[in-house]
Amino acid sequence: PKEIFLKDYKKPDYLFDTVDLEFQLGDEKTMVTSKIAVSPGNEAGTSSPLALHGCDLKLLSIKINGTELKSDKYTVDPRHLTILTPPAGVFNMEIVTEIYPQLNTSLEGLYRSTGNFCTQCEAEGFRKITYFQDRPDVMAKYTCRIEGDKTLYPVLLSNGNLIEQGDLEGGKHYALWEDPFKKPCYLFALVAGQLECREDSFVTCSGRKVTLRIWTPAQDLPKTSHAMYSLKEAMKWDEEVFGLEYDLDLFNIVVVPDFNMGAMENKSLNVFQSRLVLASPEAATDGDYAAILGVIGHEYFHNWTGNRVTCRDWFQLTLKEGLTVFRDQEFSSDLGCRTVKRIADVSKLRSYQFPQDAGPMAHPIRPLSYIKMDNFYTGLRKGAEVVRMYKTMFGASGFRKGMDLYFQRHDGQAVTCEDFYAAMCDANNAHLPNFLQWYSQAGTPTVKVTSSYDEGSQAFSLKLSQEVPPTPGQPMKEPMFIPVAVGLVDSTGKDMPLTSIYSDGRVQTLSNDGHPIFTTVLQFKKKEEEFIFNNVPERPVPSLLRGYSAPIRLDSDLTESDLYFLLANDSDEFNRWEAGQILARKLMFSLVADFQQQKTLALNTKFVDGLRAILRSTSLDKEFIAKAITLPGQGEIMDMMSIADPDAVHAVRTFIKKELAFQLKDDLLAAVTSNRSSEAYAFNHDSVARRALKNTCLAYLASLNEPDVTELALNEYKSATNMTEQFAALAALSQNPGQVREDALLDFYNKWQQDYLVVSKWFALQATSDIPGNVANVQKLLAHPAFDMRNPNKVYSLIGGFCGSPVSFHAKDGSGYKFLGEVVLQLDKINPQVASRMVSAFSRWRRYDETRQALAKAQLEMIISANGLSENVYEIALKSLA
């Protein structure tokens, strides 16, 4: 396998101006004809060989300027077709290939899903369709003619506008599509098959009417209304917030059950896995509704951030993904509750991104090299945090100015992260020293803060120091630019007005047109820096990193009583939650130590009282309460330990949950009963918040495993009228092993066996369970008739779910590791992208005790020595063992 390096980037020697594709779809084979207008790519002109990527293709013919190319004029190997001496100047090239979509289980290139044809080309899948310069800086205008059997494939879709269609002999028909915008080949898409659509329309800000269609198998059409609502909201939001209007008269979304990722932003023809489009109150949870809103938004927003302005090369992935993830986060915040959304995003960052950033796969948001680009799509949230920091620094209007300049400069181009940085800085007449380090240094910075107050001079000082940990290939790090949003809270719990700060040898007066300032952003950019607040009348409690203003680990000298004070008083709701999380983490660490020393565990009453006060609050948002009473995840805690101890973390978290349930039982019961509702399901913040609180409390209660709460959970399960409550009750019931659990799981399966999306949830629930002996259960589920190794969603639910649950996966006898090792090898033969996601669960093996290390390492060694391993799995296994 070949490693590709950012430093080796070279502009293409040849440009493709137009690409006319023709597909003859067949059950046995599909013929692809590609006619390309080629022109020299550099000023000097060139006659260097033209190398085209290609994979799993059968070459039928090549013509240059209409003449068949003799076989001594080109070479073919398993990855390339090279035209040895292309003509000088502009020429036409026609390549005919044959492909076999029905055999393509990698779900990359052109493949079949439940009979229909579908494509997935990002990152480097277009080369499985035809020979091409498969790189994003080759942008062309495309047409696509699709021909196929009219009965089997009544619907024929591609990018852009439908300009012609008609019937052909032999029961066939065709459609001709034209995309007026230049695009890289990764945004090409084709869909053909038996689909029906929900149609709606949207009138853009300039008064154009856009037809919107969501395509699914007929029986699923009723489940597309929330997706359509989400799309229209996204279109409106992008106009209002960024002034970005949709640029074609048609926008299609297609739903396919078999899809490697969540969705794909192909120009005007987005493809989604079913889970992220189809929803009904009975069969989808609030979490599903929220995910649909976010991902429909995400793919739509790519039309400008990704498609109109794209990436020069795949190393720049964060340019489109970091920015678009940020945009979808903002969209969901604006439509829902900002604090709660921020909490959810930060939690994900901590449980997925931080561990990756501290392991063998750690890489800067702009990686320096890759073997398989697909392996670099899992850590995109940090890139979104980097974009968020521009907004924190420049404010909403400064950020908007930067975005405007970015589009003004780069519409229609394939650009780099520096181009984005330059647009942001130039639009704001700013320079952010050391900010670009975020793009090139891996690892999560730790910022230490110590504070002191001098009564005589009424000065409050914050001393900050930063440390970026070493990561593979990057032993030494430079300081980064870190925006630290700070407020000072007085002894009554109110924010103090901030008037001036002394730092860097100068005094900066804080003013906002005469309005008092309560939060300021410190520009922390050196290894160590001191910031002194003047005119501070009493010792404040600092509220640090408000809203989580930078993706770092904060280590402050706040005392426990400061933290309880912030939990009760901070005007920054995010930091109220954060204070509770820091307290919970401290508590968990001290109990883990007790557990490891075989001491009896006991819960600190201050913590119980703090949570009780939150639970009883009538002024706080209910979803916020649900988040605030939820303990940090086991993964998050293990990530912070020098030797991760899954047994101890599990025991401690279970102990705290149960103890809290015991001590807060009455409050929890009251929260469950008072948050029932007989209203019809609605996806709006108030209802979602109510259900979130009720379900969180029910889960606590169920941990008691007492007859009255079991009765309560059973009752909730039976009376639920929506999946959010039904599934939460099922989860509550299945916490404790025994007959009640078994019966409930069986009942649920019998009810829902016709709905593969609900069945996937049922798999996930059992996979993530920490009941004893669960490895064997999951093994058994692998043979369940509803499980299908070829369907990524089911694999993510069952196998992925299993790997995310510390107890069974990390079973001390190695049975979890052995299970995963075997599954990875099986999966790799079917779908390397999915297999590689699964094998990643091993990557942090060095974080565990020696016994576990040896067991996990043995599996990795077994995997890497297997015959015919994919590059995807090879890269992860190799880096994990390095």
Q: Which residues bind Zn ion (CB under 5 A)?
A: 321, 324
Interface mask (CB under 6 A) for ligand B3K, residues 288-327, using x and -? ----------xx--x------------------x------
Closer residue to ligand B3K, CB minimum distance, 264 or 361: 264
Query: Is 175 a residue that touches ligand B3K (CB under 6 A)?
Result: no
Beta strands in 246-336 (DSSP E): 250-256, 263-264, 269-273, 310-311
Q: How far is the CB of 833 from ligand B3K (least distance, A)?
A: 6
Burial of 72 (0-12, 13-18, 19+ CB in 10 A): exposed
- At its nearest, how many Å lie between Zn ion and the CB of residue 315? 16
| CB closer to Zn ion out of 270 and 808 | 270
Q: Quick one: which of 69, 99, 123, 496 contacts ligand B3K (CB under 6 A)?
A: 123
CB of 514 to ligand B3K, least distance (A): 44
Residue placing its CB nearer to ligand B3K in the complex, 94 or 374: 374
Residue 123 interacts, among ligand B3K, Zn ion, none and using kind-specific CB cut-offs from 5 to 8 Å, with ligand B3K
Stretch binding ligand B3K (CB under 6 A), from 263-271, 342-350, 472-480, 586-594: 263-271
Q: Among residues 9 and 377, whose Cβ is nearest to ligand B3K?
A: 377
Residue placing its CB nearer to Zn ion in the complex, 321 or 621: 321
> Which letter does DSSP use for residue 459 in this model?
E
Which partner from the list ligand B3K, Zn ion, none does 638 bind, CB cut-off 5 to 8 Å by kind? none
Rounded to a whole number of angstroms, the minimum distance from the CB of residue 557 to ligand B3K is 40
User: Per CB under 6 A, does 385 bind ligand B3K?
Assistant: no
Interface with ligand B3K, residue 231, by CB under 6 A = no
What's the chain's Rg over C-alpha atoms? 28
CA dist 425 → 83, 386, 409 (Å): 43, 14, 13
Judged by beta carbon distances under 5 to 8 A according to partner kind, the member of Zn ion, ligand B3K, none in contact with residue 342 is: none
Q: In this chain, which of 345, 374, 419, 495 binds ligand B3K, going by CB under 6 A? A: 374
Which tokens go with 412?
């229609």
Q: Considering the complex, what minimum distance in angstroms separates the CB of residue 621 from ligand B3K?
A: 29
CB 206 within 8 A of CB 174: no
To Zn ion, the closest distance from the beta carbon of 337 in angstroms equals: 23
| DSSP conformation class of 867 | T
Residue 36 binds to ligand B3K (criterion: CB under 6 A): no
Out of 299, 529, 716, 875, which one is annotated catalytic?
299
Q: Which stretch binds ligand B3K (CB under 6 A): 34-42, 256-264, 348-356, 422-430?
A: 256-264
Prior bond of 811 cis (ω within 30°) = no
β 263-264/269-273 pair status: antiparallel
Q: Which of 20, 122, 238, 385 binds ligand B3K (CB under 6 A)?
A: 122
| Total chain residues near ligand B3K (CB under 6 A) | 12
Our finding on whether 124 is near ligand B3K (CB under 6 A) is: no
Q: What is the token pair recorded at 207?
A: 């008064």
Residue partners of 383: CB distance under 8 A and separation at least 6: 317, 318, 321, 322, 323, 325, 326, 365
C-beta of residue 625 within 8 angstroms of C-beta of residue 569: no
Nearest approach, Cβ of residue 223 and Zn ion (Å): 23
CA–CA separation, 590 vs 571, rounded Å? 29
In sequence order, the β-bridge partners of residue 271 are 254, 264
Residue 190 sits in the site that holds ligand B3K (CB under 6 A):
no
CA distance 594 to 586: 13
* Residue pair 165/156 in contact by the 8 Å Cβ criterion: yes
- Helix, strand or coil, per DSSP, at residue 486: strand
Three-state secondary-structure class, residue 129: coil
* Residue span 591-620 as binding mask against ligand B3K, x where in contact by CB under 6 A, dash where not: ------------------------------
Closer residue to ligand B3K, CB minimum distance, 38 or 276: 276
* Interface with ligand B3K, residue 265, by CB under 6 A: yes
What tokens were used for 546? Answer: 């408000």
| Residue 134 lies near ligand B3K (rule: CB under 6 A) | no
Amino acid identity for residue 586 in this structure: K
CA distances from 479 to 367, 445, 524, 528, 727 (A): 19, 9, 9, 9, 47
How do 109-113 and 67-68 pair as beta strands? unpaired
Tokens of 8: 């080796």
**Toward Zn ion, which CB reaches closer, 153 or 301?**
301
**Would you state the structure tokens that stand for residue 190, as one six-digit string?**
């084709």
Rounded alpha-carbon distances, angstroms, from residue 572 to 199, 493, 556, 576, 639: 43, 11, 17, 6, 26
**Binding status of residue 661 toward ligand B3K by CB under 6 A:** no
Of the two residues 324 and 766, which places its CB atom closer to Zn ion in the complex? 324
Yes or no: say if 174 and 147 are a contact pair by the CB < 8 Å rule: yes
**Residue 616, CA atoms < 13 Å, CB-side half-sphere:** 11
Task: Pick the stretch among 57-65, 166-174, 259-267, 864-872 that binds ligand B3K (CB under 6 A).
Answer: 259-267
Which parts of 218-363 are beta strand (E)?
Answer: 250-256, 263-264, 269-273, 310-311
Alpha carbon distance 877, 874 (integer Å): 5
Annotated catalytic residue 164:
no
Q: Token pair of 705, please?
A: 């495993």
C-beta of 302: minimal distance to Zn ion in Å?
6
Cβ-contact 874, 864 below 8 angstroms: yes
Closer Cβ to ligand B3K, 302 or 388, answer by number: 302
Selected from 138, 254, 264, 550, the binder of ligand B3K by CB under 6 A is 264
Binds 122: which of ligand B3K, Zn ion, none (CB < 5-8 Å by kind): ligand B3K
Q: How far is the CB of 306 from ligand B3K (least distance, A)?
A: 7
Binding site for ligand B3K (CB under 6 A): 122-123, 261, 263-265, 298-299, 302, 321, 374, 377
Query: What are the residue numbers of the active site?
Result: 299
